[in-house]
Amino acid sequence: MCGIAGLIGQDPQARIGAMLKAIEHRGRDDEGVWASPAINGEGQRVTFGHRRLSIIDTSAAGHQPMLLADERLVVVLNGEIYNYRELRAQLTTKGHRFRTQTDTEVLLAAWAEWGEECLTRLNGMFAFALWDDQERALFLVRDRVGIKPLYYAHHAGTDAGEPQAGCLRSDSLVFASEVKSILASGSVKAELDRESLHQFLTFLWVPDPNTLFHGIKTVPPGHLVKWRDHELTVREWWDISFDTIEEGRSDAWWQEQVLETLDRTVKLEMVADVPLGSFLSGGIDSSSIVALMKNHSHGRRIGTYTIGIEAEDLRYDIIPDDVQWARRVNQQLDTDYHEIMLQPKVAELLPKLVYHMDEPAIDMAIPSYLVSRAARETLTVMLSGMGGDEVFAGYPIMPRSDAVSMLGESGALTFTLGGLSKSAGLPQLKLGWMVVSGPDAIVAGAMERLELICDTYLSVSTPVQLAAAKLIASGKEIREAIKERVQQNYHALERTAKVHPSVRVIEPEGGWSVVIEVPETAGEDALVQRILHEAHVVVHPGYFFDIQRGAHIVVSLLPPPDVFADAIRRVLDQVAAS
């Protein structure tokens, strides 16, 4: 990764150094700064800064900020344009000449040739800032799905004075790859955005374009921010389209299309002039990527890195152990395999992770950091299966769309369940969010009644037409229904296990799952499946994990979605009827 930063204001050069220092970790191969002459009567200038991690054309020719030959355009780029070679060939036929082998120079030429329309031609992950001196406009652009980060703060006026929350003193705009770089400029005072904190605690992330810092925003994925004469405009340049739907195709045809697309993508992402490898969990996503990398590695062993969790710690987690599966894939593909085990002291990393992420660390931040740190000792670029679950509906909640249709329409109100998710402990069994729409009076009444099962209202417009609520299983009817089913499953498993002397059923503190302890043999999976069958316990996809190399298996006792969906529906029917 690289780091970019910049300002539009009076004397911005005095502060760009501090901004780049704050993101030095993003690239230690090179640093560059560019400043324009005054761009208006107020004496404001444009300044770009760049911290480089060299990947393509590692020579000094790739130095940034990079200028077009006539110096009309200036750019700082973080990321990669994977199809830059194809674009370079097209642009050469149109008369463009190139001095380097970089994708950054191709981006400059593409913008000069096609303007903003060039964005749809780019295949890659990127965030960049471009100054057009002829148009006297600054553009901030982020890739289609927001892989590369880009933040900014804007103030339409030019009043001097001490920095205030969300405002800039004599600056009109400041941007960077990380929030801490913007704060290092001295232009923006760090102040918590309480509404964003509310959203973070609800979703574990802040919806775009807001951040946890008041006045600092993120360029949304697939969007372009344009600054000109103190005015800011934001537009979407890409969104996924379902206008064209292939019908009548066989499964074999689709399988071939997916394989060809994945193979082409992996080959494109392997373009690098530095050592390259992949993370490996042993799952379908990363294993497929490593297998395809092997096809394009010209005999070179692919460096792979896997992170594991100690057996004792796995008893308190719902995430399966990757190590055993990663080892099997390694045996199959003969990679240059590396294995890192998480240790209890990882909590000491939290302050560092929060510093680098500019927000509280959640989910897989710690293992991702540790495996990346280990990989950096031998490799510079790592491919990953991240995003595969989103593309192929791999999360356990996604196949359960039937639960949404169960709610359907109820009288004059329409209820749409936005997602089902689980968390440790029954009182915090999250059902996601729900949209309630209908006549004002009925929706308002529903909101009052829904307090029985709603933890937080996210938004209520006036007049009330749409309200979204995070549903928590705190309503007595729902909670009791789930508890009853969990206990039934637990006791059924406990009774069945007594018939098998080598099997022990352990109830963890969480209360919604059990650990089945079985002998570590080649047939432990089959034995557990037999016990589940004999106990008449249905295990849903995504809730059955072989997590300790055969020694322990954790099984969710959560009932299927219809149990609590029916309970919710009964409450909603009562609301609509009243």
CB neighbour burial string for 376-390, b if at least 16 within 10 angstroms, e if fewer: eeebbbbbbbeebee
Rg from Cα positions in the chain: 27
- Contact between 290 and 333 under an 8 Å Cβ cutoff? The reply is yes
The pair of structure tokens assigned to 156 is 């339409």
- Contact between 131 and 138 under an 8 Å Cβ cutoff? The reply is yes
Distance CA 269, CA 264 (A): 9
Q: Which residues, in sequence order, are CB contacts of 480 under 8 Å at separation 6+?
A: none
- Contact between 119 and 238 under an 8 Å Cβ cutoff? The reply is yes
- Contact between 428 and 443 under an 8 Å Cβ cutoff? The reply is no
Closest CA to 8 of 197, 174, 210, 214: 174
Say if strands 409-410 and 303-309 run parallel, antiparallel, or are unpaired.
unpaired
Distance CA 168, CA 171 (A): 5
Q: What is the torsional sign of CA 126, 183, 161, 210?
A: positive
Secondary structure class of 297 (helix, strand, coil): coil
Phi, psi of 570 (to 5 degrees): -65, -40
Distance CA 174, CA 49 (A): 11
Count of C-beta atoms within a 10 Å radius of residue 480: 13
Q: Is residue 118 annotated as a catalytic residue, yes or no?
A: no
Phi, psi of 155 (to 5 degrees): -140, 120
Q: How far apart are the first and last CA of the chain?
A: 57
Burial of 302 (0-12, 13-18, 19+ CB in 10 A): buried
Closest CA to 155 of 181, 178, 182: 182
DSSP state of 165: B
Residues 390, 393, 395, CA angle at the centre, nearest 5°? Answer: 85
CB neighbour burial string for 66-92, b if at least 16 within 10 angstroms, e if fewer: bbbeeeebbbbbbbbbbbbeebbeebe
Burial of 11 (0-12, 13-18, 19+ CB in 10 A): middle
Catalytic residue among 2, 118, 167, 454: 2
Residues 19, 21, 26, CA angle at the centre, nearest 5°? Answer: 100
Per the listing, tokens 């295949």 go with 123
Which residues are the active-site residues? 2
